[in-house]
Structure 1
Amino acid sequence: MSAATRKLLVDVHTHVYLPRYASLLRSRSAAPRILSRPTADGAGTEERLVILDNEPSGGRPVGPQYWDRDEKIKFMDKHGIDVSIVSTANPWLDFLPAAEAPSLAEALNADLDAYCATAPALSPALSRLYAFGLLPLVPAVPVPALLAAVAHIASLPRLRGVIMGTRGRGAGLDDPALEPVWAALARAGLVVFLHPHYGVPSSEWGDRENGHVLPLALGFPFETTIATTRLILAGVLDRHPSLRLLLAHAGGALPQLSARLASCVAHDPAVAQRLAHDARWYLGQLYFDAVAYGREELAFVAECVGRADSYEKGADRRTQSAQRTLGSSRLLFGTDHPFFPPLAETDKWQSVTENLEAIDGVEGWSDAEREGVRGGNAARLFGLV
């Protein structure tokens, strides 16, 4: 890794609602939608994004930071972010009829490439913006249409992966019908960013008004945990070892529960012989954004990932130093912009400052490991240098 690469700050978890997509959401009368309503003081109107039915607080206010590229660059400049890998934010295309989804996905992917291509560049060889494309993962969309979308994304120079929800075409990501799609993504070398949207049923949150806290802090990570576990149990990572899967929000609860998962697999006749490896081993095959907000949490994820291959039969246990290096090499900085803005325009975003402080605060990491999480790991994964 070159000195220039080590100094990059790369944001792999940063969202955008491009104008074409925002216009679609404005045209809708049911969630997901962008609606207009009077401001609290009655002096004007504001737009609010509602992505789920019965969403707390009537959705969240939206504005230019959600679709204006200059606002994205301004945010990056304010926080010293060199490169962003942008992705359309949830709910992607899940709600569309099958007849509409493929053409819209194609148009939005072309929009994303243009959004990145006309951005300022760091150098002749390095843009400031790259992107995850969209697949039309909607029930009844035929697999050939999904494969055509993979090929189209792979042909666009600034699209380096796909963002994917947890439901696939409705039956989940472990749906056997998606097997050709996983194979195509692996062959193309596209990074798959697995991101939650639905959480867990709202009936679990009780009657007390707690805003977005429970669905976002707990529901989203649990959704990611379940979806990834289903992929592991289905053998997708065994059949496609070159598949590069990036998990949002530091992998949810998967690192914390990986040993429990391994024990349950080993004791269950239905799955005990299904996997080629100990269930904990698969953590070392995954990538995790570093949106953990705390150094202890980040260090724990790195430790679980770092020791993953020691659970392979006959493997020698690595030294603690080697485990740290392996674990940190699978972590990538992210901000979740434009969500969770500061209360004052002059403030820096806590999603930036807290996640950078977490990287800086992990005990035992070398400067090279910290710089890897800040940007070097992403530069290698996305082929930026």
Structure 2
Amino acid sequence: MASPTHHVVDIHTHMYPPAYIELLESRNSIPLIRKFAGADEPRLIILPAEAESLDKTTTTTPNDPASSTSSSPHLPGRPVTSHYSSLKQKLHFMDTHQIDISVISLANPWLDFIPSEDAGETAKSINQEFSHMCGQAPGRLFFFATLPLTAPPETLLAAVGHIRSLKYCRGVILGTSGLGKGLDDPALVPVFRALGANKLTVFLHPHYGLPSEVWGPRATDEYGHVLPLALGFPMETTIAVARMYLAGVFEQAPELRLILAHSGGTLPFLAGRIESCVVHDGQLVREGKAGPGSGRRTLWQVLKEQIYLDAVVYSEVGLKAAVEASGVDRLMFGTDHPFFPPLGSDEQGEWESVTWNAEAVRKALGEGSEGARAVMGGNAFEILRLHEEDAAGADAKVI
């Protein structure tokens, strides 16, 4: 059990508020929630790769659950249990795994699909709902807010100021599409600057993965979700941050701070190769972006100055690489709840996906060591200012 001075903090944990569930239930294309004949619970379908399976499966209507049958033995998506939206369930999960504080966030795909004219109000409503949830468990819950990225620029920037005023907000969760052109889009720089100026840390999380054809013709029917989740998501994060680095985003928004999901994808392993490719690229050298006199910060420097990593990597080997890349003082524990539940066992008990991550910390850094305590909660406590019950302020800056 965590002592009063050694908090366990989960910074990668999701919730779908009831209003978001209702929104997904009303949709006819992904992302959506659908009921299927023979299934005990409705299913969440959010991955592009799942759209093809959805087309092969006939859904039921809410009023006639037996009105159709599935033409495929494999139902798309994942069951929407109480773990997705119940505050009571979240707190039970925390207690079961001896987690003192959770920083909850909306899961992918956030509000990337919302029409421009609705995005601002939808985001405000969702964020207010998160704030209310945190208020029901003060001291135990904080949250990363959601940005209305499809809204007009003035609405988006105004949203940053509103988010900063919310009592339990400690940053924002962001996908890799940005405004639709990726995170190296110059139009996104003012948003990054505003987030940095308001000390709102960005939790960067993948969703779109890689094109389905990358996985080959056997993937959909034979390999489940393994390839897009295990490989597509980490590579998506790696590519997004590499593009930001090459575009000079970190220099243009020096106050920006990112937490990268899943221990930074493959960045800890590939940063050296990226560096080698940069310094050996004739175009970049000719343009003065690399080589002697360029003043370029290395990717290694950016990893240790503007980037944090979560510890959702499931192995001692991966965690050691993350520590080497970013530093033990820049890693933070996470669970990815409610995803990756135990199969065929009690979801109210311990989840392997959680215990594997905690075990990786212990093995990599030593049971009860200062480094392990920092990763399990100490770092998040300081970086996200969890010692401040109210980190909001009236001095929100839009620049």
2:61 matches 1:49: no
Query: Which residue number in structure 1 is paired with residue 180 of structure 2?
Result: 170
Q: CA deviation at 1:33?
A: 0.4
Q: What CA distance in whole angstroms lies between the structure 2 residues aligned with 1:280 and 1:271? A: 18
Quickly say closer, same or farther: Cα 1:153–1:363, change in 2 above 3 A: closer
Query: Which residue number in structure 2 is paired with residue 102 of structure 1?
Result: 120
Q: Calculate the TM-score normalised by the size of structure 2.
A: 0.84
The code of the aligned residue for 1:167 comes to S
2:277 matches 1:264: yes
Q: CA deviation at 1:162?
A: 0.3
Q: What CA distance in whole angstroms lies between the structure 2 residues aligned with 1:15 and 1:221? A: 18
Q: CA RMSD in A?
A: 1.6
Query: Which residue number in structure 2 is paired with residue 378 of structure 1?
Result: 380
Task: Determine if contact 2:366/2:372 at 8 Å carries over to the other structure.
Answer: no
Task: Determine if contact 2:362/2:368 at 8 Å carries over to the other structure.
Answer: no
Q: What CA distance in whole angstroms lies between the structure 2 residues aligned with 1:133 and 1:23? A: 19
2:263 matches 1:250: yes
**SS where residue 35 of structure 2 aligns?**
strand
Task: Determine if contact 2:105/2:173 at 8 Å carries over to the other structure.
Answer: yes
Query: Which residue number in structure 2 is paired with residue 37 of structure 1?
Result: 36
> Which residue of 294, 299, 322 maps to 1:279?
299
Q: What CA distance in whole angstroms lies between the structure 1 residues aligned with 2:252 and 2:185? A: 14
Q: What CA distance in whole angstroms lies between the structure 1 residues aligned with 2:49 and 2:322? A: 33
Q: CA deviation at 1:246?
A: 0.2
Q: What CA distance in whole angstroms lies between the structure 2 residues aligned with 1:369 and 1:363? A: 6
Q: Provide Cα deviations, 1:85-131, integer angstroms capped at 9, x if missing partner.
A: 00100011111111111110011111110111112x4xxxxx10000
Task: Determine if contact 1:143/1:178 at 8 Å carries over to the other structure.
Answer: no
**SS where residue 283 of structure 2 aligns?**
coil
Q: What CA distance in whole angstroms lies between the structure 1 residues aligned with 2:270 and 2:14? A: 28
Q: CA deviation at 1:142?
A: 2.1
Task: Determine if contact 1:133/1:161 at 8 Å carries over to the other structure.
Answer: yes
Q: Provide Cα deviations, 1:178-213, integer angstroms capped at 9, x if missing partner.
A: 111111000100110000001000101112220110
Task: Determine if contact 2:332/2:377 at 8 Å carries over to the other structure.
Answer: yes
**SS where residue 127 of structure 2 aligns?**
helix
Q: What CA distance in whole angstroms lies between the structure 2 residues aligned with 1:347 and 1:39? A: 25
Unaligned runs of 5+ in 2: 54-74, 290-294, 388-399
Q: What CA distance in whole angstroms lies between the structure 1 residues aligned with 2:275 and 2:127? A: 38
**SS where residue 46 of structure 1 aligns?**
coil
Unaligned runs of 5+ in 1: 122-126, 306-326
Q: What CA distance in whole angstroms lies between the structure 2 residues aligned with 1:136 and 1:370? A: 36
Query: Which residue number in structure 1 is paired with residue 24 of structure 2?
Result: 25
Superposition misfits of 4+ residues, deviation over 2 angstroms: 239-242, 269-276, 363-366
Q: What CA distance in whole angstroms lies between the structure 2 residues aligned with 1:227 and 1:241? A: 18
Task: Determine if contact 1:287/1:330 at 8 Å carries over to the other structure.
Answer: yes
How high is the sequence identity, in percent, across the aligned residues?
A: 50
Query: Which residue number in structure 2 is paired with residue 142 of structure 1?
Result: 152
Query: Which residue number in structure 2 is paired with residue 311 of structure 1?
Result: none
2:331 matches 1:331: yes
Q: Provide Cα deviations, 1:339-366, integer angstroms capped at 9, x if missing partner.
A: 0111211541112101110000015687
Q: What CA distance in whole angstroms lies between the structure 1 residues aligned with 2:198 and 2:83? A: 31
What is the total number of aligned residue pairs between the two structures? Answer: 349
Q: What CA distance in whole angstroms lies between the structure 2 residues aligned with 1:94 and 1:174? A: 17
Q: What CA distance in whole angstroms lies between the structure 2 residues aligned with 1:83 and 1:54? A: 34
Task: Determine if contact 1:130/1:160 at 8 Å carries over to the other structure.
Answer: yes
Query: Which residue number in structure 2 is paired with residue 359 of structure 1?
Result: 361
**Map of 1:275-354 to 2, 5 A cutoff?**
276-285=296-305, 286-305=307-326, 327-343=327-343, 344-345=345-346, 347-354=349-356
Task: Determine if contact 2:365/2:371 at 8 Å carries over to the other structure.
Answer: no
Q: Calculate the TM-score normalised by the size of structure 1.
A: 0.87
> Which residue of 167, 174, 190 maps to 1:180?
190
Q: What CA distance in whole angstroms lies between the structure 2 residues aligned with 1:170 and 1:271? A: 26
**SS where residue 117 of structure 2 aligns?**
coil
The code of the aligned residue for 1:260 comes to R
The code of the aligned residue for 2:337 comes to H
Q: What CA distance in whole angstroms lies between the structure 1 residues aligned with 2:165 and 2:205? A: 23
Q: Provide Cα deviations, 1:54-79, integer angstroms capped at 9, x if missing partner.
A: 41641111121100100000000000
Quickly say closer, same or farther: Cα 1:299–1:153, change in 2 above 3 A: same
Q: What CA distance in whole angstroms lies between the structure 1 residues aligned with 2:90 and 2:367? A: 30
Q: Which moved more, 1:262-271 or 1:364-373?
A: 364-373
Q: What CA distance in whole angstroms lies between the structure 2 residues aligned with 1:297 and 1:46? A: 35
The code of the aligned residue for 1:382 comes to L
Q: Provide Cα deviations, 1:296-338, integer angstroms capped at 9, x if missing partner.
A: 1101111122xxxxxxxxxxxxxxxxxxxxx111100000000
Task: Determine if contact 1:16/1:86 at 8 Å carries over to the other structure.
Answer: yes
**SS where residue 284 of structure 1 aligns?**
helix
Task: Determine if contact 1:329/1:373 at 8 Å carries over to the other structure.
Answer: yes
Query: Which residue number in structure 2 is paired with residue 241 of structure 1?
Result: 254
Q: CA deviation at 1:4?
A: 4.1
> Which residue of 244, 251, 262 maps to 1:231?
244
Task: Determine if contact 2:43/2:78 at 8 Å carries over to the other structure.
Answer: yes
Query: Which residue number in structure 2 is paired with residue 316 of structure 1?
Result: none
**SS where residue 116 of structure 2 aligns?**
coil
2:174 matches 1:153: no
Q: What CA distance in whole angstroms lies between the structure 1 residues aligned with 2:195 and 2:216? A: 40
**SS where residue 91 of structure 2 aligns?**
helix
Q: What CA distance in whole angstroms lies between the structure 2 residues aligned with 1:365 and 1:48? A: 39
The code of the aligned residue for 2:280 comes to H
**SS where residue 142 of structure 2 aligns?**
strand
